A = this chain, B = another copy of it.
Amino acid sequence: MSIAIENFVKAIYKNDKNDSNNTKPGNIAKKLGISNAAATDMAKKLASKDLLHYEKYQELQLTDKGTQMALNIVRKHRLWEALLFKLFDMSLHEIHKEAELLEHQTSDFLADKISAYLGNPKFDPHGDPIPNAKGEITTVDNSIALSQTQAGETYIISRLMSDDKEFFDFCALHGLKYGNRITVTNQFKNNRMTQISINNNTILLNEDFTNIIYVNESN
């Protein structure tokens, strides 16, 4: 299967996991930076390969086969992120960009080698779960968006759900990192802002960030 196909299947999968309300060709096209027409063409082609269900004007839906393919690619992506993060001094954004390319040129054999080398990790450096070789994912039920937290409570950062350079630069600057401890000092519901304390510094975060930073309750 080509890189274009892999990226298309992956985009549908990720779309389903996030803003699942729109999996029509146009929305996928926007995420991939291709025209709507190209996305429709591709959808038809993938339907003929039994990777997704396609009906005119309806939402695209991955078949089991398509889902397995997506999980396989996501697995490789996140394993590369984990490996590059461990070995090299690179930002999460740089790591993501490289993994985006490497994921398509990685045999299952090599993926398993990377996984074993890392001790079969269940999460990547963003806190995103790494599917195992069978495509099974460890769910992270009890993690919630920072926007949904309680003022006065302390939490552990469990996921940074973004690919954006500016976001990661901000996180790196303030110590917002997978596994780190933060205290929510104020929730300004009306302004949709959250004030946190980390490393004795106080930071005010707006909704753009508090919706993509996930945390677990700190026991």
Contact = CB atoms under 8 A, between A and B. Distances in A.
Nearest to A87: B117
A37 to B, nearest CB: 23
A113 interface: yes
Question: What is the interface of chain A mostly: helix, strand, loop, or mixed?
Answer: helix
B107 A105 contact: no
Interface stretch (A4-12, A28-36, A60-68, A94-102): A94-102
A75 to B, nearest CB: 16
A117 B89 CA distance: 10
Interface in A104-142: 104-107, 109-110, 113-114, 117
Interface string A70-101: 00000000000000100111100010011001
Contact of A98 (B84, B94, B98, B107): B107
A94 to B, nearest CB: 7
A185 B63 CA distance: 63
Contacts of A110: 84, 88, 98
Given A88-B110, A98-B106, 14 more contacts: A84-B113, A87-B117, A88-B113, A88-B114, A88-B117, A89-B113, A94-B109, A97-B107, A98-B107, A101-B105, A101-B106, A102-B105, A102-B106, A104-B105
